[in-house]
Amino acid sequence: MNVPDQRTLVCGGCGKPRVEPSTSHSGQIAPCPECGSTVRTYHLHLTAYVRLYAALDMRCKKMGVGGWRVRQFVGWQLRKSVGDFVRKVRRIDRVNNRYLERVETADGTVLRDADEALSAHQGHGTAKGPASK
């Protein structure tokens, strides 16, 4: 959304709005016709819009046992190939041998919808083998 910046020039002495250029033809600041001051105040109003994307990445562990048992990610993630954000829900459950993942664009288009055994989920992400040369 484009909003034009708002600029205002007022006399620094009396505060009356001014519309003249900042200098006269001789390079001198023209005095205010109301109070005679050559002090000027410039007001600049800027507007910015910020969009926040939240995400939660959690891991479930069992006390006394190393590593995590369940890992879940819910939220928005940057899709580097296109540069936009996608909504992702991913659950990796080692206890029940399940891999669930759903990825959608902001308009609701489903890019990926997986529900499979974790043991069958190979060759994706960090499970990929080393790159061949």
Task: Kindly list the domain boundaries of the chain, sorted by start residue.
Answer: 1-50, 55-126
* Apex 88 CA angle, 72 and 69, nearest 5: 15
pLDDT tens per residue across span 22-73: 555 666 778 888 888 888 888 888 888 888 999 999 999 999 888 999 999 9
103 with 111: CB under 8 angstroms? yes
What one-letter code names the amino acid at 91? R
Contact criterion met (CB below 8 Å) for 64 and 71: no
Check residue 106 and give its pLDDT.
93
CA-wise closest residue to 116 among 132, 127, 107: 127
- Paired residues of 123 in beta bridges: none
| Contacts of residue 89, Cβ cutoff 8 Å, sequence gap at least 6 | 73, 74, 100, 101, 102
Residue, of 109 and 127, whose pLDDT is higher: 109
pLDDT at 129: 60
pLDDT of res. 4: 64
